[in-house]
């Protein structure tokens, strides 16, 4: 059974339609990517899923029931706008948030200490939030989200404020929770992060769904029109390759998409062999970011 069902949901704010007849399902035990640029309508949809806002039209079913306040303790929600009390100590704050989600004070405090230890943050217990860096505050906010061991975890731009090391720590925690059978909804505008974590995706732009489904199948349907080259020698020969779009180009590596069906990949291979010491030549699937650009461009929708 689906853990979440969105059916024909529409939400308007005056003349602006933030959610335009949206429909999709989220199945248990997977990471579901709610993707799109800033301003696409992702946060509005999340606020309806968490019962903060009500849809103008359509229905939202959560855990097999109409979404309501009674489901809050089964959800862990990390909002994009962080909500910590600046002058309260970290451990006191986490203990309080755990109690709000139905834990006893003793259990909540024990879990908070355990998570602070796991995230190498035990020294922060007696510090006030306003004494912490943005990244440290983000860790505390994340702990408050998962402290009560929710069935459904909703993360709105969870990597904001994290350095690369802590980003990887958080990714590992998300994947570990998935292994435990948790369901995670990941909302982000950074396609590379979604590509690393998500099983299923729903791409939204200007309140409309423009692409949805299992990520692996979406990438498979997009074909292999991207070439990855690695080589030793001058990259001047790349300037002679036409009707391609370079995605990444460094001194000894190039990744580009063929944008003209008349281009023969064999000719590119021969040019590379004649010009440099070729160490790698591969056709790869386009990135999720490229797929998003393709779909938006095909629909003639401006990507803000």
CATH number of 116's domain: 3.40.50.300
144 and 239 together in one domain: no
167 and 196 together in one domain: yes
Q: Is the pLDDT of residue 252 over 60?
A: yes
150 and 208 together in one domain: yes
DSSP summary character for residue 233: S
Structural domain includes residue 251: yes
147 and 264 together in one domain: no
Structural domain includes residue 55: yes
Q: Is the pLDDT of residue 130 over 70?
A: yes
Our count of domains for the chain comes to 2
CB burial of residue 234 (10 Å; 0-12, 13-18, 19+) = exposed
Mean pLDDT of the region 118-145:
92
240 — pLDDT class (breaks 50, 70, 90)? very high
Kindly state the greatest CA–CA separation across the chain: 71
Mean of per-residue pLDDT scores for the chain: 92
Q: Is the pLDDT of residue 303 over 60?
A: no
304 — pLDDT class (breaks 50, 70, 90)? very low
- Choose the final residue of a domain: 180, 212, 244: 212
Mean pLDDT of the region 83-105:
94
CB burial of residue 38 (10 Å; 0-12, 13-18, 19+) = exposed
Question: Which domain does 261 fall in, by range?
Answer: 224-284
Structural domain includes residue 298: no
What integer pLDDT is reported at residue 80 of this predicted model? 82
302 — pLDDT class (breaks 50, 70, 90)? very low
- Choose the final residue of a domain: 212, 233, 261: 212
183 and 230 together in one domain: no
Containing H/E element for 253? strand 253-258
285 — pLDDT class (breaks 50, 70, 90)? confident
pLDDT above 90 as % of the chain: 73
Mean pLDDT of the region 88-117:
96
User: Which residue, 7, 5, 25, 38, is CA-closest to 206?
Assistant: 38
């Amino acid at each position: 059974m689906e853990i979440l069902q969105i059916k024909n949901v529409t939400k308007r704010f005056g003349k602006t339609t933030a959610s335009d007849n949206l429909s999709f399902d989220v199945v248990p035990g997977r990471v579901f990517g709610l993707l799109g640029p800033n301003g696409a309508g992702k946060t509005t949809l999340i606020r309806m899923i968490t019962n903060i806002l009500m849809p103008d039209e359509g229905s939202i079913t959560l855990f097999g029931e109409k979404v309501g306040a009674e489901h809050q303790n089964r959800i862990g929600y990390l909002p994009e706008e962080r909500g910590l009390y600046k002058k309260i100590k970290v451990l006191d704050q986490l203990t309080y948030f755990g109690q709000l989600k139905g834990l006893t004070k003793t259990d909540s405090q024990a879990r908070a200490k355990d998570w602070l230890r796991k995230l190498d943050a035990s020294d922060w217990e007696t510090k006030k939030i306003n004494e912490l860096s943005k990244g440290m505050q983000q860790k505390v906010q994340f702990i408050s989200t998962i402290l009560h061991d929710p069935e459904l975890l909703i993360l709105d731009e969870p990597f904001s404020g994290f350095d690369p090391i802590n980003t990887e720590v958080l990714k590992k925690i998300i994947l570990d929770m998935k292994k435990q059978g948790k369901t995670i909804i990941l909302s982000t505008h950074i396609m590379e992060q979604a590509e690393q974590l998500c099983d299923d995706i729903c791409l939204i732009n200007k309140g409309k769904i423009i692409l949805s489904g299992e990520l692996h199948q979406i990438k498979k349907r997009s074909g292999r029109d991207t070439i990855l080259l690695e080589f030793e020698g001058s990259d001047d020969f790349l300037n002679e390759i036409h009707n391609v779009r370079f995605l990444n180009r460094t001194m000894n590596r190039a990744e580009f998409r063929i944008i003209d069906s008349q281009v023969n990949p064999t000719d590119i291979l021969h040019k590379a062999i004649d010009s440099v010491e070729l160490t790698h030549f591969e056709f790869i699937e386009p990135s999720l970011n490229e797929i998003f650009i393709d779909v938006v461009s095909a629909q003639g929708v401006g990507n803000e």
